[in-house]
Structure 1
């Protein structure tokens, strides 16, 4: 790269003077534009291996499912494949009555005639003629002056108009004219050419002319393109009977913004491709444009309720891969790895009500509206936090962890991800949880229990517990009393322990229902830890949670050994070590 790029590159200036009376910045988009998919033409010609007829048919049918009413199907004068495909659509009756196909041609007599021949017989057809008008093309590509370039447009318009009249018995024709490389063409010259073509056709309310003003090569920021569109919108002849169309390419990576601002500036119609396929960096992405409207409460009049099916079809037909972070459709666009993001999403999801205004943090659209589920919304790696971990356990295994337990358990997951450096799946998270909490059966293990007591009784100690427990292979019967089953069980163990928090919920339904209990336990003045128990019987689950917490205490608090040795020694005199 050179240190002074201004010696090689200069900014594009479409106006000779300051354009200060623009109005588009104060406007907003209130309805969907007319959409035209050019996947089968512009998108197809940019592929490493262009689609064969079978793939083009599959793609065409997918576009119909989505709801496109205007589809550019090819460049029929360019090759036999393109011509045959166009004829197949017409002759085999693939085109619904409410769908208009479009075909592209250069402004040459032989190509125009071939194009008319290809599309004749379709109920509705757009013949799209173009010629480049930008100064670099006039000088470098064609070696022509302005008058020569304008004459190309005039000749093409006149011939096409005559052919429309000759072949009007079976087809309703519409004319589209593109000032190719409009984005780099002097505005006064672009206007002169456009108005000349409009005057030739004399469009009416029932047969409007489409004037396409493409950013064939992005030459500026989107606001300048919007200025160009607004200026043309104000100055073209017979504006009420002209459909102003835009066709932004993505050379600067701003095609979506250019299209949106162009609509605000007066454009009625947008041409583009699904996933932005097209030459070089591609065309404007119609999926992103449409779903941007959807997130603003505007019906895009295109159906992407099964976005994965659309993606599969496009990838099959084009043999192109969708980037994982492609807006709305990529594998990772509804995925959060960051702990703070996961926590916010989890809270939002838990509060979001059906049919309410969507307010989930970090998710501008409900994945369910696109046929996506929540499987990939939260994934866990070394950057993840308690929210993501808890979300995976709740979604996949129904475990609703108390907030303090979320914090405690996230540290265990963090240790695993720090050690491995890998993302962990929901199954891996559950296995860590199981190892950390559910499999804590040593040294204390519950064998069975029996409870006597009336929860409604007035006495202070109205619960008695008899339990058989095991420690280091030995089994003993213990007894205890308390004002609840858990307090009676802790009394039987003989430990100075107290319950700091207790949570429970059901898992599953009907005959498969089990209880999950979460106990935060503190022994003496040591730090509290959690234990978790799961069982069909809620009391059994709570006792297992208590023992799990005690066993985890032993692993985390070395100074508990003396306390626990004393308690175990009372129950199991022959056991001298719990290490």
Structure 2
């Protein structure tokens, strides 16, 4: 059985998904869960991209001990220096340095000849080897590169000190047969290829990212890169959870295994979905709501007689609870604390006390509080703790023949109160117009999404919004029993994030793009 390393790029390539903007607390929450999930390498970001990215990568590298942490760098000395400063405190400092190798990229992006690209790649790998014990070199757009040239530059960077060679399908263009053949070609035509791990990085533009990654494993790849839920640039990356479950379920075929703790799959997927605001399609493989649903009569009959007739993955394998424990208003603090620990949360006593009060408030309105409710409650509390404005009170007047009016009181973190009222064509618009008055800004709502946590009339409402003001875009989430309160919290969360971004850019003298 071959060990396949899992390289997770949720915090780097995944965060480049349009509309995704994670703050430091959210990145750290995801990093801790990825560590628990069992990934081998976490790509925490691109340290040279911004001061914020640098700080996030450094803190994650200094905190995570159960797996390797890496950062991306262009084949430029300043990028490598910045990456070293961010990563030198990690358990295993690892650099991910890349340069494009396809004719179209070399000609139009770099305006350089192939031999010049080889020279740069070799020089930068040698330079990085002064600092980093592990260097991963990537041939950007490898799948559209000429194979003889790809073999030549690979041989040279290995000589220069590369430990991992990554062959990305950067634009999601290739097919499984072609991608697998590329790995076979390098295995046969690069004399020192046995000295490195061969890695995949596939995008899903044609819907073949997972299939391409697995084809590479068939042809000698020992590392797969991807993101949780397949998020990432354009159509996204290979979905890590699908790759891991496929290798487990079909180990008879692939003769390979990973270190992934499969029972943490659903929790990891849900966490990334909630923090990025990217909903999981119901028919999504492995983690979708319908992944283990059987509606057809023929399917149900066979399933009831023997689950394996129509179910090749058990829900329990990926951490889907068929019968979950529910808590109610009579549940005590000890049961609440114990259940949170069972769900994998590690919280301080003061956090438990605060959450318990929130839980009791929710239990008064909702008969049963489920694991999903608790999951959302904890995330809402832990990742939105430091905010300039907090919602003190909300009142909405609505009638079929009246103009909707909202009255809102906010409390600033210095104790000052702000109260305003405004109207709108609907209740949500009235709330958002009022919040704009409270913060004295003209903000534009770019996106609004509402979903329920579980079903039923007493379900929690979760709202995701994206706003724009003064050239800055920010997203926010809100959770409440009432849809209007949740909408207000989401918009206010986005306002607080937008203000934080603006303040950060002032401090670092960045231009608002």
Instruction: Note the C-alpha offset of 1:123.
Output: 2.5
User: Within 5 A, what are the aligned runs for 1:296-375?
Assistant: 296-297=250-251, 299-349=257-307, 360-374=308-322
Q: Distance in 2 between matches of 1:47 and 1:60?
A: 20
Pick one of 141, 165, 178 that aligns with 2:138.
178
Q: Of 137, 140, 150, which residue of structure 2 is paired with 1:190?
A: 150
| CA-CA distance at 1:341 after TM superposition | 1.3
Pair 307,269 (structure 1): closer, same or farther in 2 beyond 3 Å: closer
Aligned residue in 1 for 2:103: 135
Question: Shift of residue 374 of structure 1?
Answer: 4.6
Report the CA distance shift for 1:73/1:319 in structure 2 as closer, same or farther (over 3 A). Answer: same
| Partner Cα distance (1:78, 1:48) in 2 | 18
Deviation at 1:316, TM superposition (A): 2.1
Task: Work out the CA distance in 2 between the residues paired with 1:308 and 1:327.
Answer: 11
Q: Structure 1 runs of 4+ off > 4 angstroms?
A: 373-376
Give the number of equivalent residue pairs. Answer: 320
Q: CA deviation at 1:373?
A: 4.2
Report if the CA contact (8 A) 2:6-2:258 is conserved.
no
User: Could you give the per-residue CA deviations for residues 4-45 of structure 1, whole angstroms, max 9, x where no partner exists?
Assistant: xxxxxxxxxxxxxxxxxxxxxxxxxx4441111111111112
Counterpart check, 1:224 vs 2:178: yes
| 2:84 aligned partner | 116
The Cα shift of 1:199 comes to 1.3
**Structure 2 matches for 1:57-456, cutoff 5 A?**
57-90=28-61, 93-96=62-65, 98-162=66-130, 164=131, 173-201=133-161, 209-297=163-251, 299-349=257-307, 360-374=308-322
SS at match of 2:174: coil
Bigger Cα displacement from structure 2, 137-146 vs 257-266: 137-146
Q: Structure 1: give runs of 5+ residues left out of the alignment.
A: 1-29, 165-171, 204-208, 350-359, 377-579
Deviation digits for residues 472-503 of structure 1 (CA, Å, limit 9, x no counterpart): xxxxxxxxxxxxxxxxxxxxxxxxxxxxxxxx
Q: Structure 1 residues 332, 89: CA separation in 2 closer, same or farther (over 3 Å shift)?
A: same
State the shift of 1:217 in Å.
1.8
**Compared CA separation, residues 173 and 317, structure 1 to 2 (3 A):** farther
Instruction: Output the aligned Cα RMSD.
Output: 1.9
Secondary structure of the corresponding residue to residue 48 of structure 2: coil
Structure 2 counterpart SS, 1:129: strand
The 3 A distance-change label for structure 1 pair 336 and 32 is: farther
- CA distance in 2: counterparts of 1:217 and 1:273, whole angstroms: 16
CA distance in 1, matches of 2:302, 2:232: 37
* SS of residue in 2 equivalent to 1:116: helix
Deviation string, structure 1 residues 215-261 (Cα, Å, up to 9, x no partner)? 11222321111001111122223233211111111111111111111
Structure 2 unaligned regions, length at least 5:
325-513
1:513-524 matches, within 5 Å, as: none
Task: Report SS of the residue matched to 2:294.
Answer: coil
| SS state at 1:240 partner | helix
CA distance in 2 between counterparts of 1:244 and 1:35 reads 12
Change (3 A) 1:264 1:299: closer
Q: Deviations over 1:505-547 (max 9, x none)?
A: xxxxxxxxxxxxxxxxxxxxxxxxxxxxxxxxxxxxxxxxxxx
Counterpart CA distance in 2 for 1:109 and 1:331 is: 46
Which whole-Å CA distance do the structure 2 matches of 1:270 and 1:249 have between them?
12
Cα displacement (A) at 1:130: 0.3
2:10 pairs with 1:42? no
What SS is found at the alignment partner of 1:123? coil
Q: What TM-score comes out, normalization by structure 2 length?
A: 0.60
Q: 1:168-221 CA distances to partner (integer Å, 9 max, x unpaired)?
A: xxxx621111010000000111111111111122x6xxxxx1011111122232
Report the Cα distance in structure 2 between the residues aligned to 1:235 and 1:269, rounded to whole angstroms. Answer: 20
| Higher Cα radius of gyration | 1
**Contact 2:44/2:60, CA 8 A, preserved across alignment:** no
* Aligned-pair CA distance for 1:138: 1.8
Instruction: Map residues 501-540 of structure 1 onto 2, 5 A cutoff.
Output: none
Distance of 2:297 and 2:321 partners within structure 1: 20
Deviation string, structure 1 residues 80-119 (Cα, Å, up to 9, x no partner): 11101122224xx4121x4211111001122221111221
SS in 2 for 1:76: coil
Q: Is the 8 A contact 2:40 2:259 kept in 1?
A: no
Checking the alignment, whether the CA contact within 8 Å between 1:100 and 1:126 is kept in structure 2 is yes
Q: Distance in 1 between matches of 2:185 and 2:316?
A: 41
> Is the CA contact 2:37–2:265 (under 8 Å) kept in the aligned structure 1?
no
